[in-house]
Amino acid sequence: PYDVLVVGGGPAGAAAAIYAARKGIRTGVVAERFGGQVADTMAIENFVSVKATDGPKLVAGLEQHVLDYDVELMKTQKAVRLEKKEFVEIELENGAILKSKTVILATGARWREMNVPGEQEYRGKGVAYCPHCDGPLFKGKKTAVIGGGNSGIEAAIDLAGIVEHVTVFEFADTLRADAVLIKKANSLPNVTIIKNAMTTEVIGDGQRVIGLKYTDRTTDESHLVDVAGIFVQIGLVPNSEFLKDTLELTNRGEIVINAHGQTSIPGVFAAGDVTTAPYKQIIISMGSGATAALGAFDYLIRN
């Protein structure tokens, strides 16, 4: 068996693997797609100590660093089941079963998409999902935020300090965000909130986003607004479906962890965007990967 088996090859999984391997213990990584969300990222300007980089470069760096150590990297392999027996067992889609004394789950998350024409075409060309990451790219420009839940209203407040104007589009007739956030957003002169709005299309000029079409659900009329950026804030879905009924998840599907990255199953740790750790960022997931690996090592020397 492995000492540490990491499931996931994003920043959290890579950091966990490096920290584990540096303890001289048998370490494996199973990843459906090495690099994770970072592979889809254009500009990265908040990876502290590296002023600017891009996703593919950072992914190449992660892989090189992992392979610098004695890590068994199993790429394009998907975990479909976890079971704790004598060891923790991870079953792969191809039927293979991997055994390990400890497992670190770092399967990340995915942004829920609008599924409207133009969204995929202009992803990274105006369509964005992370205000902390991409907000500054729209400095002085008009932007839209899709979704009036907490993350949408937080994004609007955040962006209002950077961009010229923010319009929030909410599908329902009420906002689901906390009252204190709504009050704050309403107090900002450059934030407009439109309810009963069904977004229907992302409009671009072939290079970049130039507008957004939506239908007013009360009148059925279609409108076009000029925006350079569209922040989609309709949910971040943890990749934890295969863990349902095996360990403790929140109602949103996040794996519940303690300060050491320990889950509800002894010997099973978790890190990064798939967990309850707040703020989903590269540097934060790396930190939590390191924590989980040290947590797993602690567990190993005590058991």
Binding-site ranges for ligand FAD (CB under 6 A): 7-13, 30-34, 36-38, 40-41, 44, 46, 78-79, 106-109, 111, 129-130, 133, 239, 242, 272-273, 280-283, 285
The two tokens of residue 211 are 């507008």
- Pick the closer one to ligand FAD by CB: 104 or 191: 104
Q: How far is the CB of 283 from ligand FAD (least distance, A)?
A: 6
Which candidate in 133, 158, 178, 273 is catalytic? 133
User: Nearest-CB residue to ligand FAD?
Assistant: 108
Pairing of strands 27-31, 71-75: parallel
Phi/psi at 195 (5° precision): -95, 175
DSSP state of 242: G
Measured CA distances, 67 to 71, 174, 205, 303 (Å): 6, 50, 42, 28
- Shortest Å distance, C-beta 274 to ligand FAD: 6
Residue 133 appears among annotated catalytic residues: yes
> Residue 239 or residue 291: which is nearer to ligand FAD going by CB?
239
Asked whether the beta carbons of 289 and 11 are under 8 A apart, the reply is yes
Minimum CB distance to ligand FAD, residue 297 (Å): 19
The minimum distance between CB 38 and ligand FAD, in angstroms, equals 5
User: Which residue number, 27 or 239, has a Cβ lying nearer to ligand FAD?
Assistant: 239
Instruction: Catalytic residue, from 3, 54, 134, 220: name it.
Output: 134
Q: What is the 3-state secondary structure (H, E, C) of 121-166?
A: CCECCCEECCHHHHHHHHCCCEEEEECCCHHHHHHHHHHHCCCCEE
Closest by CA to 63, choosing from 36, 101, 95, is 36
Taking the C-alpha atoms of residue 69 and residue 57, their distance in angstroms, rounded to an integer, is: 19
Do the bridges between strand 53-54 and strand 71-75 make them parallel or antiparallel, or are there none, so unpaired? unpaired
* Least separation in angstroms between CB 54 and ligand FAD: 9
Could you tell me how many residues make up the chain? 303
Cβ distance to ligand FAD smaller for residue 7 or 193: 7
Give the other-Cβ count within 10 Å of 156's Cβ. Answer: 31
109 vs 209, beta carbon nearer ligand FAD: 109
For the chain, report the end-to-end CA distance as a whole number of angstroms. 15
Which candidate in 54, 70, 130, 178 is catalytic? 130
Q: Which residues are part of the catalytic machinery?
A: 130, 133-134
